């Protein structure tokens, strides 16, 4: 049975804990957390990214997150929290669900980059 984007987003939002920028800042302050920007490179170049965030476009996420992939990024570790964001929160929700499906248990969606900026979050230009 085919599934719609709306259904995919509903499942992702049900599976991935949504946090506020303030909660994200608190987690980042404690250290040992991966902040993940799943926007495409041109978006990041235009606006910057959350300070210290790793940019992995949504299309490459599986390859960077899987330790058995030749494209694995060592910043990914299943025992540390992952905070995701994108432009508006949709891609980060889908990416979070994917990570949970891959065995990452501490996955959080902070939503959109603009939410972070509006809350006074630090940005790398």
10-27 pLDDT per residue, tens: 999 999 999 999 999 999
> What's the total number of domains in the chain?
1
CB 39 within 8 A of CB 23: no
Residue 85 lies in a domain: yes
Taking 90 as the threshold, does the pLDDT of residue 58 lie above it? yes
CB-based contacts of 6, cutoff 8 Å, min separation 6? none
Domain that holds residue 74: 5-119
67-83 pLDDT per residue, tens: 999 999 999 999 999 99
CA angle 39, 42, 48 (to 5 degrees): 70
Shortest CA distance to 47 belongs to which of 100, 95, 98, 117? 117
pLDDT value of position 29: 95
Residue 124 lies in a domain: no
């Amino acid at each position: 049975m085919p599934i719609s984007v709306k259904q995919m987003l509903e499942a992702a939002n049900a599976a991935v804990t949504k946090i506020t920028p303030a909660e994200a800042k608190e987690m980042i302050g404690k250290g040992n957390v991966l902040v993940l920007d799943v926007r495409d490179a041109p978006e990041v170049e235009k606006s910057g990214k959350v300070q210290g965030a790793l940019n992995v476009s949504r299309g490459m996420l599986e390859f960077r997150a899987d330790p058995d992939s030749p494209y694995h990024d060592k910043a990914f570790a299943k025992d540390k929290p992952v905070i995701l964001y994108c432009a508006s929160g949709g891609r980060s929700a889908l990416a979070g669900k994917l990570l949970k499906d891959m065995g990452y248990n501490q996955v959080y969606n902070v939503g959109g980059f603009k939410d972070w900026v509006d809350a006074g979050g630090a940005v790398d230009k």
